């Protein structure tokens, strides 16, 4: 029923489940979260996320290098391509730009982002974009190197409506995480009211950013329901409608090619 379009299953706190990932996945499924996209953040965990996706029904993977993991050298694009060709992999990333934490590597981040976008276009697999304090450069690089026919998603969106509308013009989707439920996120909720329903996704970004009323605790895929409930309230819809809309959008973005 629900899709968690962005989670890090290899990083979940499994203490409540006696270290058993299957139990955590079952807990999500018991709340109707029957599909998840397990996200790669560097070459070190790429094989792990692909392995998880290969072992569990309803779970797919992405592979890429997070901008905060771009260090003194660029990603080996041939190695990334080989991993991205795995049948479990439906997306490239996460990639993008983060000038909040790692602005010192901005030039390498931009080069890495462009490489990911080119690979996305080559393979016909959408790109998953992380962006923080880098609005202009993110949109500029998407316009320069992206493929609007393949497009992608700005995940865990926390930016302005102006940036969202620019991304929408490039055929991108906008994904909201538990941040949209936070008391201090009134401006973000206004953005969530404006994004066209056929371009909206929901996610947990677990184990990070647990939604209210679990803020401050470890996040997990089962809490994507709370994100859906928030979007439903904002848009005047039943939560079941949000589940159906976002699931349909997920399929269009990642499985329509």
> Percentage of the chain surpassing pLDDT 70?
99
What is the rounded CA–CA span in Å between residue 105 and residue 115? 15
pLDDT tens digits along 99-129: 988 888 899 999 999 999 999 999 999 999 9
72, pLDDT greater than 80: no
> What CATH number is given for 2-255 in this structure?
3.20.20.140
SS3 readout for 166-190: HHHHCCCEEEECHHHHCCCCHHHHH
Question: What are 34-65's pLDDT values in tens digits?
Answer: 999 999 999 889 999 999 999 999 999 999 99
- Please state the domain extents for the chain: 2-255
- For position 71, what pLDDT does the model report? 77
Q: CB–CB of 113/67 below 8 Å? A: yes
Structure tokens at 161: 């409506």
The whole-model pTM stands at 0.96
């Amino acid at each position: 029923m629900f899709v968690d379009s962005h989670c890090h299953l290899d990083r979940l706190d499994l203490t409540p489940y006696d270290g058993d990932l299957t139990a955590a996945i079952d807990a999500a499924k018991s709340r109707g979260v029957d599909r998840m996209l397990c996200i790669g953040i560097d070459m070190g965990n790429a094989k792990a996320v692909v392995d998880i996706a290969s072992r569990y029904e309803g779970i797919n993977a992405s592979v890429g290098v997070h901008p905060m993991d771009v260090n003194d050298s660029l990603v080996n694009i041939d190695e990334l391509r080989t991993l991205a060709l795995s049948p479990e992999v439906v997306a490239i990333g996460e990639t993008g730009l983060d000038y909040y934490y790692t602005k010192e590597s901005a030039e390498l981040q931009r080069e890495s982002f462009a490489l990911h976008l080119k690979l996305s276009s080559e393979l016909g697999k959408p790109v998953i974009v992380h962006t923080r304090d880098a609005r202009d450069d993110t949109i500029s690089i998407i316009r320069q190197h992206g493929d609007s026919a393949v497009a992608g998603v700005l995940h865990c969106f926390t930016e302005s409506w102006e940036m969202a509308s620019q991304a929408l013009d490039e055929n991108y989707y906008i994904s909201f995480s538990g941040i949209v439920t936070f008391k201090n996120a009134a401006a973000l909720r206004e953005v969530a009211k404006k994004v066209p329903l056929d371009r909206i996704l929901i996610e947990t970004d677990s184990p990070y950013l647990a939604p209210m009323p679990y803020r401050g605790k470890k996040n997990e895929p089962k809490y994507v329901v709370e994100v859906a409930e928030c979007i439903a309230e904002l848009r005047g819809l039943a939560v079941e409608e949000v589940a159906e809309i976002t699931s349909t959008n997920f399929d269009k973005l990642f499985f329509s090619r």
